[in-house]
Amino acid sequence: MSVSYTTDDAGHPAPSDAHSQSVGPNGPLLLQDHYLIQKMAHFNRERVPERVVHAKGGGAYGELEVTEDVSKYTKADLFQKGKKTPLLIRFSTVAGELGSADTARDPRGFAIKFYTDHGNYDMVGNNTPVFFIRDPSKFSDFIHSQKRRADNQLRDHNMQWDFWTQSPESAHQVSWLMTDRGTPKTWRHMNGYSSHTFMWYNADGQKFWVKYHFKTDQGIENFTGPEAAQLESDADLHRRDLWQSIEGGDYPSWTLKVQIMPFEDAENYRFNPFDLTKVWPHEDYPLITVGRMTLNRNPQNYFAEIEQSAFEPSNLVPGIAGSPDKMLQGRLFSYPDTHRYRIGPNYLQLPVNQPKSPVRSYNYDGPMTYSNNADPVYAPNTAGGAAAEPSFYTGEDYHIEGTSCRRAYELHKEDDDFGQPRKLWEKVLDDSQRTNMVNNIVDHASAPSVTDEMKKRVVQYWTNVHPDLGSRVADGLGVSS
């Protein structure tokens, strides 16, 4: 039921939209003016903390339609042919705060929440297929180096290169970042990747390793470095673009493809298939089409539906499981933990995060509870309450053994930090893309804070990727190589 008159939050008709209660028109205000106090007090509580990373973003609703039969790889309900699953997507930059420019050079978040019949499935990826590091213990250090200094709260390119040049595993992702894919034209004109390897298992319990690729149907379009820099004053460019295209009925879409690796291939594959700094070359594992994702509805209330949306890689459904990727393992912990802090322990009861399938857990109470879980409140019980059905997960178990240790991944035969970025430079980029990459690196490492010593390390880093790239960066930075 809607009403034509203003109310307070408890539904009482509001006494006035404009005037506080006072002692005479010119006198002091009265403490009994509950309506005024509710307005002011609520305003003071309008914000939750912004996300510690990926704070600036935007999102929309849509649907995944599965057009191909991939049931031999997974029994996941949402990936069965003909199935249509509603979803929420949120795009973001990584390092900037709320209000920062959409066009900054940065990876873009590509987070999808599928509301499946077996609970929420979240694919919390980026617009790049790789990442800067391969062990979660380095994540907070990496992010600190990209954010602001402790003393003057300024971003500092010297700090960024300091981290990267001492973390050679970053070379693949930094190469990407320094191409024009580091400055996409809109969110609609970029791909999304799971980056991580996940496990799929089918109804017979056969297991596969999988990587997801969401290929934009709008085509890839990027800004050059100078174009993106010029547009920084238009901070909400990408947010506006997505909103307007959906409002105008121009619904963006992506074709979902996967790479599938038979479970047994992993051990002796030429690259460690769980190393997040590596792709699986398409020649080894070609892309297989699954379906199409289309975005067709804007949120009504940005704060309720996008700011308070809570994506978590730990939201997996029967037919899909994690993998031994150490970064993924770290993320399985990190996201639910940050949501409990940022939004509150009952964040899963908010409409945007709530599964569309029934929930019957034995968790209850806590701040802002409004689920009406009834007795019994424990398991096991003899009161007819729900009981776990482990057969949903038949197929996901696999054998692992080893000695506890703190060590890097064992190398597979072609594992190194520079081979794949070298291939990107040599085989994938054309001449003009290579020139733009060099210019973007030189521009970034020419910031006033970058020391001469650091510039030498920057040149060495890129020489390791390719000698031509190193010497062109050296020329641009005026460093003798």
Q: Are 301 and 308 a contacting pair, CB within 8 Å?
A: no
Pick what 207 binds: ligand HEM, ligand NDP, none; C-beta below 5 to 8 Å, kind-dependent: none
Q: Which of 19, 34, 118, 126 is catalytic?
A: 126
Q: How far is the CB of 181 from ligand NDP (least distance, A)?
A: 5
Q: What is the footprint of ligand NDP within residues 308-347 (CB under 6 A)? A: none
CA-to-CA distance for 212 and 79, rounded, in angstroms? 12
Q: Which does 473 bind (CB under 5 to 8 A by kind): ligand HEM, ligand NDP, none?
A: none
**Interacting residue with ligand NDP among 74, 191, 197, 272 (CB under 6 A):** 191
- Which residues in 10-39 contact ligand NDP (CB under 6 A)? none
210 is an interface residue for ligand NDP by CB under 6 A: no
Task: Say which entry of ligand HEM, ligand NDP, none residue 281 contacts (CB below 5 to 8 A, set by partner kind).
Answer: ligand NDP
Residue type, 236: D
For residues 58 and 91, what is the distance between their CA atoms, to the nearest angstrom?
Answer: 6
> Would you tell me which residues interact with ligand HEM (CB under 6 A)?
51-54, 57, 90, 92, 109, 111, 124-126, 131, 136, 139, 195, 309-311, 327, 330-331, 334-335, 338, 342
Nearest CA-CA partner of 262 in 316, 206, 197, 325: 206
Using CB under 6 A as the binding rule, the residues of this chain from 264 to 283 that contact ligand NDP are 279-283
Task: Yes or no: say if 203 and 196 are a contact pair by the CB < 8 Å rule.
Answer: no
Q: With DSSP H G I counted as helix, E B as strand and the rest as coil, what are the percentages for the chain, rounded to 5?
A: 30, 15, 50
67: alpha, beta or left, given left = phi > 0 and alpha = psi -120 to 50? alpha
| Position among 105, 215, 434, 472 found at the interface with ligand NDP (CB under 6 A) | 215
What span, in angstroms and rounded, lies between the C-alpha atoms of 287 and 260?
A: 8
Please confirm, yes or no, whether 126 is among the known catalytic residues.
Answer: yes
Binding to ligand NDP by CB under 6 A, coded x per residue (else -) over 282-301, reads: xx------------------
433 binds ligand NDP (CB under 6 A): yes
Q: Does 429 bind ligand NDP (CB under 6 A)?
A: yes
Q: Which residue has the tokens 């806590």?
A: 366
CA 40-33-28 angle, to 5 degrees, is: 95
Q: C-alpha dihedral over 165, 169, 173, 177, to 10 degrees?
A: 0
Residue 234 or residue 414: which is nearer to ligand NDP going by CB? 414
Query: Binding to ligand NDP (CB under 6 A): which residues in 70-129?
Result: 129
Minimum distance, C-beta of residue 250 to ligand HEM, in the bound complex (Å): 23
**Could you tell me the smallest distance in angstroms from the CB atom of residue 198 to ligand NDP?**
15
The residue (of 437 and 442) whose beta carbon lies closer to ligand NDP is: 437
Residue 207's identity, in one-letter code, is: K
Least separation in angstroms between residue 327's CB and ligand HEM is: 5
In this complex, which beta carbon is closest to ligand HEM, that of residue 53 or of residue 450?
A: 53
Strand 192-193, strand 320-321: pairing? unpaired
When CB distances are held under 5 to 8 angstroms depending on the partner's kind, the choice from ligand HEM, ligand NDP, none that residue 423 binds is ligand NDP
Would you say 274 or 462 has its CB closer to ligand HEM?
Answer: 274
Among ligand HEM, ligand NDP, none, partner that 215 touches (CB below 5 to 8 angstroms by kind): ligand NDP
Rounded distance, CA 257 to CA 45, Å?
43
Question: 429 contacts which partner out of ligand HEM, ligand NDP, none, CB within 5 to 8 A by kind?
Answer: ligand NDP
Contacts for 191-194 with beta carbons within 8 Å, 24 or more apart?
191/127, 191/215, 191/216, 191/220, 191/254, 192/110, 192/112, 192/125, 192/126, 192/127, 192/254, 193/110, 193/125, 193/126, 193/127, 193/128, 193/129, 194/123, 194/125
Locate all alpha helices (DSSP H) within 83-235, ordered by sequence. Answer: 139-146, 157-165, 171-178, 225-230
- For ligand NDP, the binding residue among 181, 185, 188, 326 (CB under 6 A) is 181
335 annotated to a ligand binding site: yes
Residue 22 CB partners (closer than 8 Å, separation 6+): 28, 29, 30
Whole-number minimum distance, CB 328 to ligand HEM, in Å?
Answer: 8
Angstrom distance (rounded) from CA 320 to CA 314: 11
CA separation for the pair 326, 196 (Å, rounded): 10
Which lies closer to ligand HEM via its Cβ, residue 192 or residue 225? Answer: 192
Tell me which of 12, 26, 42, 54 is the catalytic residue.
54
CA-to-CA dists, residue 356 to 117, 118, 329, angstroms: 7, 9, 26
Binding-site residue numbers are 335
The residues binding ligand NDP (CB under 6 A) are 129, 176, 179, 181, 191, 213, 215, 279-283, 420, 423-424, 428-429, 433
Instruction: Please enumerate, by residue number, every residue annotated as part of a binding site for heme.
Output: 335
Report the catalytic residues. 54, 126
